[in-house]
Structure 1
Amino acid sequence: MKRQYWLIGILSVLLCVTAWMIVWLYGGHKDETWISRSAAAKMSVLAKDGPDGIATDSLEEGQAWYSPYIERSEECFGLGPESGEMVDLWAMEPLTYGEAKKIAGAFEVQTEFLSFSFDAGETRPIPASQWFELYDLIAARSGHVKKQELLILGTSSNVEGLSSWQCLTQEGLFSFVGLSLDSYMDTCVFAYVCGGEIGGINGVCPKTVQVNNVWITSGDQDQMTVFINGYYRVFELDRILTEPVEKVMADMTFEDRELSKITLKPTVIKGTILSVDDESIDIENYGKVATTEDFIVLNMEQGITCQGRDSLSAGSMYTEFVVEDQKICAALIRASSQEETIRVLLSCDGYTGYIHSGVTLTSSVPFWTVCQGERREYQAGEMLTIDLSALAGQPSMTVFTSATAGTIEILSLNRSQGHPRYRGALEIIADDQGLVLVNELLMEDYLYGVIPSEMPASYEMEALKTQAVCARSFAAASIQNPRFPQWDADVDDSMATQVYNNADEDSRTCQAVDETAGQALVWEGEPVQAYFYSTSSGSSSDPEDVWISGNGVPYIHGRLQILGEEERDLSSEDVFKSFIDDYASKDYFEKDISWFRWETTLSSVNIRESVDKSLLTRIRTVPSQILVMDEGGSFVEKEISTVGDIIDLYVRERSESGVIKSMVIEGTEAVILVQGEYNIRLLLAPLESLVLCHDGTDAGTMTMLPSGYFYIEAQGDQIYTLRGGGYGHGTGMSQNGVLMLANRGLDCYEILHFYFEDVAIENLREP
């Protein structure tokens, strides 16, 4: 071991002495740089063999990058270390005049045109400037190498996805084996290029370079993330942007070795593609629009990918076109087919119905209406009011914006965030009683409005991604079986399907949608009805027990919400009461959520008011689920509007999961059998009574009970206390359960398989 250290020490001293000798011998050229033998070997071999020569990606492990070039230069030019000389040391030393002369002779260049002579000394280093002068002649002679101006935009040090010897330029990707380019970042250089390989750099090109048609994903005064030539790069900024921007095309100008200017291209048009040729695109409502020489196509369906002009097809409705000086400089493919859109029925204020007396709207961008083929244009910010008479007997009118980035703001609607803004198109349909509003938009854009409305954006990212896959599955299944066929709508925007656009879009929820783009739960090749609700009671139910449908769902089964423990019979009142009251020692992963346990106390007067408020409406809506006792003691279908004063109420049937399937309400005027958790929750709504959660939270009064998982305890004096757990219908996926599982370290796919058994997770966009 001591001998090994001694040899290493001697070798280190020799290297230092050699380096000092080089500086001493050639120190007279204080302002000159040299070209190493390894660099000269690579450049010479590239000129000799061309792009089909040495493939450095086939280097053996531990082999230096220059080894194959040194070996080849010995063959071609007679250059190489003397016998016994260290190859690595020889390769790193400067190329000499004598060696450069040999290379020039091998290429038979006419050296009389050079500004220097090889007589300067055969063993003296040739300055880099003179080598490059010689190499210009070699490159011209060989025809394999061309001198090119390249803007160095990134290497593996600042662009993810690049290998250690790859660089990103305005002309695309190049390899630069053996070179160091980080000092040339954002700088235009004179590069010797052979195919996709940079052989050498001959200094900085003092010119301004503009890179056209880059996609800014996000940017502010400090930094900007850009998609350029197929890769993402983060640029540090010095207040070049005056305000934050995102999802916009731009040109970037580089000057004096830095990004000096950003020119945004916000003008975007959209319309059905009628035809495409080599010089223009024919767009419905715009006619033929010429394309620029640097026209690009970006597919935005799953992330961003660069594509060719042939990816644009006639009939496509969901492609945006970035316009500059009345020409199209970029096409942004948002979706490849109409099947990836969804039609959403928009509710009135308070989700009280679907018939609107009128609608007032505007847009942040220019917009237009189409009614029976007649188009009328409006400026950005202009208000438009439409009532039934404005349709003049026509069945419908559709509102379009000039860009997908633009939205339609409905000033006559109110949601939790104020006036809602909608992506896509808005169809206004004439009805006998007023207007029906249907928002048609891309599936992923729809989910941007669903996820923050259904789950807090502050939740764990894996929880948000779980919600995104679940919501996409539900929406895809609804497209195949529309919920509102009378208006050609797939879903509405309320809790009846899934809540949409009741909260502003959020960057975190949009990220969850983007990271799961196209993914859905699939059973036997079809997207599933992925039901979800807020919070479980510690137990979930089969769908047929919740909705009294009689139809089972093979991928959803009731189970305890404890990892590793699934089944438990809670159908008896005593067992269920113990389940509700004695939960502290159990590992229910939602037991710290407010809604995990709750209670409310109702008087018989309160109960009668609640029953009478909804009884007749529910009987007419679901007559088979609310039955009235006849004189013979049988329960039959019958319309009544009151049960009278309350005498008693009790559970008649409870499922194994604990949810009440049916209960009896006895009154002075009628006895009714109420079936289904929704009807039970509605008829016993705590309209005048406070609901208290187990953590002390006061939820106030409610228009329906939190869940159908409760037991009833008579207090005397016609007072009833209802103690229960959970919030929502209780079948499928619990949203707060998802959060708790994410907090325990499960990813979104593990969570989905916990709630939905034996399903596949597939990408609906893939053929």
Structure 2
Amino acid sequence: MRRFWVRIIILGAGLSVLVLYFFYLHREWTENEMISRSQIARMLALIRYDREDCENLMDVQDKIALPEDVNGNEWYGCYVFTTCYYGWMTVKEDGLFHPLDKFTYGDLRYIMEQFHISEDHLSFSIGKRQSDGMVPREQWCEVYQLIIADTSHVNRQHLKIYGTPSNVTGLDAWQILTDDGVKSAEGLAVDAYMDREVEVYETDGEILCFIKVVSDDISMENVWIKEISEKQLDIFYDGFERTIRLEHELDGKIEPNMGDLGFTDGKLTSIAYKPNRWKASLLEIKDTSLVLQDFGEVKCKANMVIYQIYPEPRLISKENLKTDGTVYEFVLEDDEICGVIYQAYTEETIRVLLHENAGNYEHDQVSLTSDDDFMVIKGENIYKYKRGTELTFALEDESFDGEGEIQIKTETAEGKIQLLSLERSCGNPSYHGEIHLQKWGNGIIIVNEVNIEDYVAGVVPSEMPVSYGIEALKAQAVCARTFARGSLKNNFKDYPANLDDTVSSQVYNNQEESMESIQAAQMTRGQVLENEEGLTATYFFSTSCGHTSSPEDVWFDGSPSDKAAGVSVFLSDDSVELELEKESDFRTFINLEDGTDYFEESLPWFRWQVFIAAGDIEKGVDRVCQTDIGILQNISVLDRGESGVLKAIQIQGSENECTVYGEYRIRQIFSPENAELIPHIGESVTGWTMLPSGYIYFDPVIEGNQCQGYRIYGGGYGHGCGMSQNGAMKMAEHGKTYDEILKYFFPDSKLVSE
């Protein structure tokens, strides 16, 4: 008996599930198939008139035919009025129109009578249908086709549905974005047709009815892919921005670019980038082609789009393209131009002098290749090579006769040139942009002329670990870009370049650009820091002691200065009352006795100590100051900056004394090369040639009335001016955004877009 009841229960549960599923399918079918009376009114009215005509008719007739339950201000008001006025539809038995009720066979019979449509012409019979039965969409469309047979005003059309006001910025109510532009779809439920190809009735930009789904597999061509996060993709298409919700992580690397999107069953399933690009000046615009410098005449695709992507994406017309030397990126598909990208500010290039492996700038020879087809330009001669071809240029080559230079560039903007004769931490480095070779002195100099944004993406991972987080990387990108912009008018050491790729300027392309560094550059595109004097001096360093310094204090040389004191700040969200110029307060600060929480206090080099023997100090004074002080007797602090950084000390010996200015020279004198540096977290290190920082105080070690040396207590790693990179990392971990981080380190500056 028990088994019997168990089976009954299981069977009942199964039947319940089937019933619920049936009701679900019926509801879905009803929602997709149901047509309301107001929708029918719109379809009939727009056969002969447009919306404005219907509104004018309603106003002229003073709404005399408007049923009681219809508000003339509703989207359907003027359509209901028009159909009732001309007798194409009528009210129900209660004298009301019931605009949102389903369209029934009784309604259908009435309309067929008004338009003289015979049932003989239909594939279905309505004779025995109940008058209140719902008319399926397919049957109504069959009748509607007969009604419009004698007019060309309404057409059947295939459209791809790309967006509604719920996911597209800038669309008005009832508007939808399609592959044929923006259409109006008043009163229609669109969600079931999103990202599908459909057949519709359409007139003058008005979609009257969705007839059927033609395809569940569609593509969205030539879109600008703006940004991607874990849950959404932001794109720009046909002048509008759309957000696409992601249900799962997409395969492959996603970055701002032009491409095609693939959809299946209304879901994004693929992104096909269009990486084949040429960067060139536009020489001439023809009807079906463009003439490009170095590439000649190239045919344009019929659906070619032109995007200006900075500062915000927008469409520009072909007529607005310039033939005055402006550089564009031309996107190619099947050897035809399908897109033109204009980046405005970001097309500005910077010239970077590349050092050779021993640290000099003059190379004996240069070997290179490319991951793309490339060309070598010597004067008026252009030589083309296939990707992977290896070339070597030596000083004795005829190419270097005279004062000319050799220019190497890839066929497409996405290609890179790899310099096989250079060694960096990443191996043989690869470069965006162009490589220029020129005879200089007894060797060849290499200059990389590169887009500023590509340059920034190459600086960021070489100056900051990409593991520091995107907000810290964005802050680093702004600093790097600001420095680069400030270098554009410079000639680096009289070379034909704006800066070099070492610490003399900014380390560039020592580590290969990464997805994170590219994203950091793109998300801050064009942004720099400015103060009252112009571009901010965006110095940066490794780790702070909990306070930053002004440039005037860090690079103090003993000379009086008329400059106003620069910016220096405590790096804590707490309020700190210490005055670090005072020796007692500075010791309290370094000893962490003030009870303040600092952003970087958990990092190894936030605090450290070392013992330097007297003999090593005496040698340091002799090496740096060229002064023999004899036997070390005393060290006195003469001046500290607002941050506590040492500006001047006096070192006294048995034979002489020496006054030392500037934190860098002080750090050199107390070289810990023969000592053990002890960070407050982690293992000690040896062999360093200078102290980690100039934020230090001295305690003498005396034995038998003789100074044996000094124990030095310090904080931070680096000069301490500008932005602490580890501080930026810690601030990002605390939830601060890149603009908040920059405001902390450069409070006198503002973030602007060039």
Bucket of the pairwise TM-score, normalised by the shorter protein: 0.7 to 0.9
Matches within 5 A, 1:365-376: 365-376=372-383
Q: Does 1:514 align with 2:499?
A: no
Q: Select which of 203, 206, 212 maps to 1:203.
A: 212
How far apart are the structure 2 equivalents of 1:347 and 1:477? 21
1:418 is aligned to: 427
Q: 1:674 to 1:761 in 2, by over 3 A?
A: same
Aligned residue type for 1:512:
A
Q: What is residue 363 of structure 1 aligned with on the other side?
A: 370
Aligned pairs for 1:5-404 (under 5 A) are 35-50=35-50, 52=52, 66=76, 69-77=79-87, 79=89, 81-82=91-92, 91-96=100-105, 101-102=110-111, 105=114, 114-115=121-122, 120=127, 123=131, 128-136=137-145, 138-139=147-148, 144-155=153-164, 165-205=174-214, 212-214=221-223, 228-229=237-238, 230-232=240-242, 250=259, 265-302=274-311, 304-316=313-325, 318-335=327-344, 340-349=348-357, 352-390=359-397, 391-404=400-413
Conserved 8 A contact 1:610-1:686 = no
1:567 Cα deviation (Å)? 6.9
Taking a change above 3 Å as real, the CA distance of residues 387 and 645 of structure 1, as seen in their structure-2 partners, is: farther
2:720 to 713, 716, 730: 730
User: Residues of 2 paired with 1:245 and 1:530: CA distance?
Assistant: 30
Tell me the distance in 2 between the aligned counterparts of 1:206 and 1:152: 11
Is 1:213–1:296's contact at 8 Å kept on the other side of the alignment?
Answer: yes
SS of 1:272 mapped into structure 2: strand
Alpha carbons of 1:274 and 1:576: their partners in 2 closer, same or farther (altered >3 Å)?
same
Give 1:695's aligned amino acid.
I
Aligned to 2:484: 475
Q: Structure 1 462/684 Cα, relative in aligned 2: closer, same or farther at 3 Å?
A: same
Structure 1 contact 101–118 (Cα < 8 Å) conserved: no
1:545 maps to 2:553: yes
One-letter amino acid of the structure 1 residue matched with residue 350 of structure 2: I
Question: Residues 129 and 653 of structure 1: is their aligned pair in 2 closer, same or farther, counting only changes over 3 Å?
Answer: closer
Are the aligned partners of 1:598 and 1:724 in contact in 2 as well (CA < 8 Å)? Answer: yes
- How big is the shift at 1:164? 7.6
Which position in structure 1 is the counterpart of 2:609? 599
Greater shift, 458-467 or 261-270, is seen at: 261-270
Whether the aligned pair in 2 keeps the contact of 1:217 and 1:246 (CA below 8 Å) is: yes
Distance in 2 between residues matched to 1:597 and 1:381, nearest whole Å:
50
Which of 626, 636, 660 is residue 646 of structure 2 equivalent to? 660
- Distance (whole Å) between structure 1 residues aligned to residue 232 and residue 742 of structure 2: 36
Does 1:712 find its partner at 2:719?
no
- Measured against aligned partners, the alpha-carbon deviations of 1:372-403 in whole angstroms (never above 9, x if no partner) come to 33322222112222233332343532221122
Unaligned 5+ runs, structure 2: 1-22, 24-29, 56-69
Structure 1 pair 569–231 and aligned structure 2 pair: CA distance change class (3 A): closer
| Contact 2:112/2:118 (<8 A) preserved | no
| 1:526 equivalenced with 2:534 (yes/no) | yes
SS at match of 1:458: helix
> What is the aligned counterpart of 2:677 among 664, 673, 691?
691
Give the letter for the 2:179 counterpart.
Answer: Q
SS of the equivalent of 2:445 reads strand
Which residues of structure 1 form unaligned runs of 5+?
1-22, 24-29, 616-627, 629-639
Q: Tell me the distance in 1 between the aligned counterparts of 2:377 and 2:657.
A: 55
- Displacement of 1:200 after TM fit? 0.7
Q: Per the alignment, do residues 687 and 64 of structure 1 end up closer, same or farther by CA in structure 2, a change over 3 Å counting?
A: farther
Higher mean C-alpha deviation, range 386-395 or range 591-600: 386-395
Q: Which amino acid aligns with 1:299?
A: Q
Q: Any idea what the Cα deviations from partners look like across 1:147-179, whole Å, max 9, x if unmatched?
A: 210123445677677678454432233343332
Matches within 5 A, 1:515-664: 515-524=523-532, 526-548=534-556, 556-563=566-573, 565=575, 568-583=578-593, 585-607=595-617, 615=624, 643=628, 647=632, 650-664=636-650
Q: 1:739 aligns with which of 729, 732, 736?
A: 729
> Structure 1 62/664 Cα, relative in aligned 2: closer, same or farther at 3 Å?
farther
Equivalents in 2 of 1:504, 1:740: separation in Å? 24
8 Å contact 1:559–1:657 — kept in the other structure? yes
TM-score by length of 2: 0.80
- 2:540–2:725: 8 Å Cα contact kept in structure 1? yes
TM-superposed CA distance for 1:644, in Å, is 8.2
**CA, structure 1 residues 458+207, in 2 after alignment: closer, same or farther (shift >3 Å)?**
closer
The percentage of counterpart residues that share the same residue type is 34
Cα distance in 2 between the residues matched to 1:451 and 1:244: 19
**Per the alignment, do residues 733 and 211 of structure 1 end up closer, same or farther by CA in structure 2, a change over 3 Å counting?**
closer
Distance 2:290 2:318 in 1: 10
Provide the residue aligned with 2:456 in structure 1: 447
Q: Cα distance 1:253–1:500, how it changes in 2: closer, same or farther (>3 A)?
A: closer
Counterpart-to-counterpart distance in 1, 2:232 and 2:736: 33
- Shift in alpha-carbon separation, 1:473–1:118, aligned structure 2, 3 A: same
CA distance in 1, matches of 2:654, 2:531: 49
How much does 1:191 deviate? 1.1
Structure 2 CA distance for partners of 1:96 and 1:349, relative to 1, 3 Å: same
Residues in 2 aligned to 1:367 and 1:251: alpha-carbon distance in whole angstroms = 26
**Contact between 1:556 and 1:757, CA under 8 Å: does it hold in 2?**
no
Quote the Cα distance in structure 2 between the aligned partners of 1:80 and 1:702: 95
When residues 143 and 500 of structure 1 are mapped into structure 2, their CA distance, relative to the original with a 3 A threshold, is same
Provide the secondary structure at the position in 1 that maps to 2:488.
Answer: helix
Give the CA deviation at 1:552.
7.3
Q: TM-score, normalised by structure 1?
A: 0.78
1:448 is paired with a residue whose SS is helix
Alignment CA distance shift 1:258-1:496 (3 Å): closer
Q: 2:40 touches 2:103 (CA, 8 Å); kept in 1?
A: no
| Contact 1:271-1:320 within 8 A present in 2 as well | yes
Count of equivalent residues: 699
Distance 1:555 1:159 in 2: 50
Residue pair 1:321, 1:330 contacting (<8 A) in 2 also: yes
Shift of 1:459: 2.6
- Contact 2:119–2:126 under 8 Å retained in 1: no
